[in-house]
Structure 1
């Protein structure tokens, strides 16, 4: 985990954050053998973008006798299903980092699960998917992400009109920029959504087995320290605030608007994970 002492070159830091990634080792445990697959995922992207690659690889080793439906797929870490609607880096920060804060490995080990006759998709814990004719996971992710952008747009502007009034072409370009990792295109379209910052959309993740998420808007002029003391005072002295995998203790005196402009995710939400000090 790294620590930023002060923010100097915003453009350069944004590029570094945009390209930040996590190495995954995905294992499927069958009755005969453990099958492994290595892949990278971007921190500020989403797991469904790699599901097609995962399915294609594991189809080489599994048959329909082993798997009821290859599209009923999910990943788990220490028996906790991963919420695919959350950014990959956020999942890593609140599930993996608390137990590995001072001893981070270079690979995050995850278990791959498919729905079978004996094992159902955990729809009571993670969002179930709708059926589409093609690109099932990407279309589901698109729906969820657009909905999350509408929610954050409302918090930021006091209205959802900026995103509702995007042209069809701009809406398509926004999705393409997210899917194909085009920072310049994403920034160009996203600016059309951010008209007037009245509040900062924040998801505050506090310690629990699966991460307890508190959604709370923050005033742009509050400092990060003031916000944390207001919303998790019992944790302030015993936890470390982590944003995009970075210990931001040294940025506590910055205003939320500055923190958000730098660290917001693709859904324009600022995710803050509290990790208990060892």
Structure 2
């Protein structure tokens, strides 16, 4: 499979959208009859707060007086606004729900669960900060992002807002953050990697434990607390192998040795620091991987990891991976 990503794959990511049915929380309805839900498409690579304008227009006649403080929930779980919409959907809907039924609130944000969001500006700076973090992982610094001109920064953000892939690629290519490729890799740690050819891939892992072993994925219990999901940032560092490529399975063994068999990962040809204070800890239990999902796709574990990283990453250059894990007691 080609390391470089095809335009068809990129278009799939940029045009991907989730049908949403968003209703106003009953405690905030002031009109009779209550307003109908809003049916709207949410870009996978976008963020829920970017839908505030059409939501306010739709529900304006039913809102109580006061200062808006918009947030969303899914089956009672407040949704983290800085996580891309597609990632939230993949993570929280074990069995895809179409349309995805969400509730919007304009009052009373739960400060103990969510950081405040001041609308588009908050989302923009969250995105820029993630872009800086990704640049630091890839190149060891974020100078290219820090040195972006104001017009380029504006155009980059507008391209993301509008789902304009061509405009986005034109500007983001100047940041020199990829693509990732086999020719970018040194054969060992002593060799120098060209700054324009990174071999460190920014990865965000979302590990959802579904408790006891389940028969079907749709039997997974509803997530009622973010404590049931481990959110981990880890770079994947890769070195050249002879006679093959690094698969998604090999990459996952390196990224999550707490879950996968660490004994078999020693000869997989990749290296990664297994120590992470935010990593999940599983005491006296073996783990069973049920599902790996990226951009709504349930991936084959033998797929080349470079292809996944190049073709399925989000516009902030992070690869978001959702994993469903079933805990099983060890047999004694």
TM-score tier, shorter chain, comes to: 0.7 to 0.9
- Superimposed CA distance per residue, residues 90-109 of structure 1 (whole angstroms, 9 cap, x where no aligned partner): 0001111x2x2xxx332001
| Aligned length in residues | 252
Matches within 5 A, 1:56-135: 56-64=57-65, 68-70=66-68, 72-96=69-93, 98=94, 100=95, 104-115=96-107, 120-129=108-117
Distance 1:51 1:229 in 2: 40
Q: Is the CA contact (8 Å cut-off) linking 1:152 and 1:267 kept in structure 2?
A: yes
Distance 1:148 1:51 in 2: 22
Aligned to 1:275: 324
- Do structure 1's residue 263 and structure 2's residue 312 form an aligned pair? yes
Distance 1:197 1:25 in 2: 40
Aligned to 1:26: 22
Distance 1:7 1:78 in 2: 40
1:179 deviation in Å?
Answer: 1.4
1:81 deviation in Å?
Answer: 0.8
1:170 deviation in Å?
Answer: 1.5
Q: TM-score under structure 1 normalisation?
A: 0.83
CA 1:139 to 1:108, structure 2 compared with 1: closer, same or farther past 3 Å?
Answer: same
Q: TM-score under structure 2 normalisation?
A: 0.70
Work out which of the residue numbers 219, 227, 247 in structure 1 matches 2:298. Answer: 247
Distance 2:307 2:289 in 1: 24
Q: Which entry has the higher C-alpha Rg, 1 or 2?
A: 2
Q: Is the CA contact (8 Å cut-off) linking 1:156 and 1:201 kept in structure 2?
A: yes
1:230 deviation in Å?
Answer: 2.6
Alignment gaps of 5+ in structure 1:
130-135
Aligned to 1:49: 50
Q: Is the CA contact (8 Å cut-off) linking 2:160 and 2:168 kept in structure 1?
A: yes
1:53 deviation in Å?
Answer: 0.8
Q: Is the CA contact (8 Å cut-off) linking 2:34 and 2:62 kept in structure 1?
A: no
Root-mean-square deviation (CA), in Å? 2.3
1:262 deviation in Å?
Answer: 0.4
- Do structure 1's residue 177 and structure 2's residue 159 form an aligned pair? yes
3-state SS in 1 of match to 2:62: coil
